[in-house]
Amino acid sequence: MTQKDQQSYDQSLYAIHNRLFFRLFQLGNSLDRQCVNELGISSVHWAVLGALSRPQTNSVMSFTELTEYLDVSRQNLDGVLKRLEREGYVIRQIDTTDRRAKNIMLTQEGIARWEQLQENIYNFYKQALNGFTLDDMISFTHLANKLTNGLNDIKING
């Protein structure tokens, strides 16, 4: 491949990369907007309630576990939790074994809100994925996991 061909290839590849990441940006914004419009809850609030409602958590996770599970910063999670606390959906409790640590717990209102959302969430998924085959969904999940791993491996300045 000549240097000119390589530059042309690099520019084409850059354009594809740019378009892909822009579409991911748009996808995230569409998800946020549709969550609020159709479910009455932000996507991040949905994610927190969903994370805490998983059977293996028994409605409780440490603050650190929750940040790692959701892959969000401590500052961002703190702001989300403050709003969910005001709404009466979660509470923070000091860990009994490590007084420096906080556990996040769904309240009865939070559990009820999550249960109330389930039918609408099912319909949300069904409509958003209309036209996807099972193989499409499995492939998309696989590709999203590969991209997540790639993002986690980025080391530009260090």
pTM of the model: 0.85
User: Model confidence over 130-157: pLDDT tens digits?
Assistant: 999 999 999 999 999 999 999 999 998 8
- 50 vs 1: CA distance, rounded Å: 50
Is CATH 1.10.10.10 the right assignment for the domain spanning 41-127?
yes
**Residue 141's pLDDT is what?**
97
Q: Give yes or no for residue 101 having a pLDDT over 90.
A: no
Helix, strand, or coil (residue 89): coil
Helix, strand, or coil (residue 98): coil
Whether 85 contacts 92, CB under 8 Å: yes
Q: Give yes or no for residue 126 having a pLDDT over 90.
A: yes
Mean pLDDT (the chain) is 92
Q: Give yes or no for residue 12 having a pLDDT over 90.
A: no
**Residue 157's pLDDT is what?**
86
H or E element that contains 92: strand 90-94
Show the CA angle centred on residue 92, arms to residues 53 and 71, nearest 5°.
Answer: 60
Q: Give yes or no for residue 158 having a pLDDT over 80.
A: no
Show the CA angle centred on residue 34, arms to residues 31 and 35, nearest 5°.
Answer: 80
Domain segments of the chain: what residues?
Answer: 1-40, 41-127
Q: How confident is the model at residue 65 (pLDDT cuts 50, 70, 90)?
A: very high
Any idea how long the chain is? 158
Whether 106 contacts 114, CB under 8 Å: yes
Q: Give yes or no for residue 58 having a pLDDT over 90.
A: no
- 75 vs 5: CA distance, rounded Å: 46
Q: How would you classify residue 131: left for phi > 0, otherwise alpha for psi between -120 and 50, otherwise beta? A: left
Residue 130 one-letter amino acid: N
Task: Name the residue with tokens 């579409």.
Answer: 23
**Residue 4's pLDDT is what?**
67
Mean pLDDT score, 95-101: 83
Mean pLDDT score, 16-45: 96
**Residue 5's pLDDT is what?**
61
Q: Give yes or no for residue 67 having a pLDDT over 70.
A: yes
Which of 4 and 53 is assigned the larger pLDDT? Answer: 53
